Amino acid sequence: MTEPGNWAFPAALQPSPDEAGFDLASALDAVVLLRAEIPQDAFTAPILGTERAGNGVVIRGDGLIVTIGYLITEAESIWLTTNRGVVVPGHALAYDQSTGLGLVLPLGPLGVRPLERGSATAVDTNADVFVIGQGGGPHSLKARVIAKREFAGYWEYVLDEALFTAPAHPQWGGAALVGQDGRLLGIGSLLVQESAAGKMVDGNMFVPIDLLAPILDELLALGRTARPPRAWLGIYAAEMDGHLVIGGLAPGGPAERAGVKLGDLVLEVGGEHVTGLAAMFRRIWSAGPAGSDVTLTLSCRGASSLIQIRSADRGDFLKKPRLH
């Protein structure tokens, strides 16, 4: 994700108060800059880095912030900055690996009004929306929903329905997707290429904010959901030429310890043929919670083999937030 800086969208791409039809200034101020520092020896440091910057959205009167979880995973310190220049430290309250959403509590007053949550389910494809990053109007973008569909990420992650927008916002991580009524629809997760009007365009993927309500109380109370953690194998897989290919392995993770190799093709999970990332991950999770055995049928250079992996809780590999 690009670093915040002295840049601005062209004026024609920025929303104006007249176009917004709601209190645009208040909505802009509800998005804050989030900077996180992660220890060098953190599990996610080699992939996500030790200095992460993105956005967070204030959603409650007490300053509670929702963001995308990878920004705050294993964070040692978090700093929050408002559009008015107020800077306060933050505490990583929770990260839900199933949805990808994270919560941060400011450790001081931010002095901004929260953004009301809406519902992504009521938003149609081709709907006009706004993508808001910290920095006010210059960092806000008029966009359009170009797709609503399932999304599977190579890191053992699946959303039943994600929101895809275009044009792309360059500071997508934790950005606010806001509807025409001024309510929060989703949280920015990725830069993607998506098909629109018969051609590939750069866009962003958003996690629907609807996923937060059912788990919010548990996240606040426990730092995670009460349900048993999903089985995690520590594989990074991709779909290539109709095959599921192991493109990476989490160091010391269950799959690496069991002997899975880079380049292996996944043919079956638990004896059932799988043809896509989402199907493969759902089949892994159906084997039971973390700690369950998962059997993979792999192929390497035309030779197939059966391998049993004792799954783990991904959270056990991550550093926990420091208590303040």
How far apart are alpha carbons 14 and 19 in whole angstroms? 10
Total Cβ atoms within 10 A of residue 55: 28
How far apart are alpha carbons 274 and 281 in whole angstroms? 9
- Where would I find the H helices in the chain? 17-20, 24-29, 45-48, 216-222, 254-258, 277-286
Residue of 2, 210, 17 whose CA lies nearest to 130: 17
pLDDT value for 20: 86
How far apart are alpha carbons 66 and 209 in whole angstroms? 9
Residue 49, C-beta contacts closer than 8 angstroms, at least 6 positions apart: 38
Are 55 and 174 in contact by the 8 Å Cβ rule? The answer is yes
> What pairs with residue 43 in β-bridges?
none
- CATH number for the segment(s) 1-227: 2.40.10.120
CATH 2.30.42.10 applies to domain 235-317: yes
**Environment class of 61 (CB within 10 Å of its CB; exposed 0-12, middle 13-18, buried 19+):** exposed
Residue of 35, 32, 132 whose CA lies nearest to 82: 32
- Please compute Rg for the chain using Cα positions: 20
Total Cβ atoms within 10 A of residue 321: 20
Are 165 and 206 in contact by the 8 Å Cβ rule? The answer is yes
Residues of the chain with CATH 2.40.10.120: 1-227
Average pLDDT in the 176-192 region? 97
How far apart are alpha carbons 312 and 58 in whole angstroms? 33
Are 143 and 163 in contact by the 8 Å Cβ rule? The answer is no
Residue 302, C-beta contacts closer than 8 angstroms, at least 6 positions apart: none
pLDDT value for 199: 84
pLDDT, tens only, 13-60 = 999 998 888 999 999 999 999 999 999 999 999 999 999 999 999 999
Residue of 4, 61, 8, 63 whose CA lies nearest to 34: 4
Q: Is pLDDT above 80 for 2?
A: no
pLDDT value for 321: 67
Provide the mean pLDDT of the chain: 95
Total Cβ atoms within 10 A of residue 134: 27
Q: Is pLDDT above 70 for 89?
A: yes
Average pLDDT in the 266-271 region? 97
pLDDT value for 6: 80
Question: DSSP code of 316?
Answer: G
Average pLDDT in the 283-301 region? 97
Q: Is pLDDT above 60 for 74?
A: yes
Residue type for 145, please?
V
Residue of 163, 83, 107, 158 whose CA lies nearest to 130: 163
SS3 (DSSP) at 160: strand
pLDDT value for 5: 61
Are 317 and 43 in contact by the 8 Å Cβ rule? The answer is yes
Reported as a pLDDT band with limits 50, 70 and 90, residue 302 is confident
pLDDT value for 286: 97
HSE value, Cβ hemisphere, 13 Å, CA-based, for 37: 5
Residues of the chain with CATH 2.30.42.10: 235-317
